[in-house]
Amino acid sequence: MGDMSGPHVIRGSVSLPEAELMWRFSRSSGPGGQHVNTSDSQVELRFDLANTEALPEVWKQRALERLASRLVDGVVTVRSSEHRSQWRNRETAAVRLAALLAEATAPPPKPRKPTRIPRGINERRLRVKKQRSQTKRGRSGRDWG
């Protein structure tokens, strides 16, 4: 097994635990050359989100909720087959999984504080509106005789 380029960080000090990643290799679909029918270059990476100890509990709950539609028995799966080399597909899959988990575990955005429009600005808007209305009214050719 080739050397993977270090742990794939999700966020902060939390990274994907190599031991909990389940890899599966198969032949990629699509056109190919002489080598294509013998190499298992498509990569399927599975991560047991429901039973992992690597993520803080809060993150885990968040991710389970947000990825609910993608999970099968609490396991999230990422596939990669764009590259011809298995190693590059593994990299892509791991990076994709890390990005997916980073997004799914992100804290919810802060609630928006409602702000009031200053009175002066509102009055100016109404004044300009009135002027525009006068200008347009003046254009109607009623009193041209």
pLDDT for res 91:
86
Tell me what pLDDT residue 1 has.
44
- pLDDT at position 125, please? 95
From first to last of the 145 residues of the chain, give the pLDDT tens digit.
Answer: 444 455 677 776 676 777 777 788 887 666 666 666 667 778 888 887 777 777 777 878 887 787 777 777 777 888 888 787 888 888 888 888 888 888 877 888 889 999 998 999 999 999 999 999 999 988 877 665 5
Read off the pTM: 0.58
β-strands 9-11, 75-80 pairing:
unpaired
What is the phi-psi region of residue 62: left when phi exceeds 0, alpha when psi lies from -120 to 50, beta otherwise? alpha
32-44 CB burial, b ≥16 within 10 A, e <16: eeeeeeeeebbbb
CB distance 16 to 7 below 8 Å: yes
Structural domains of the chain, with CATH: 9-105 (3.30.160.20)
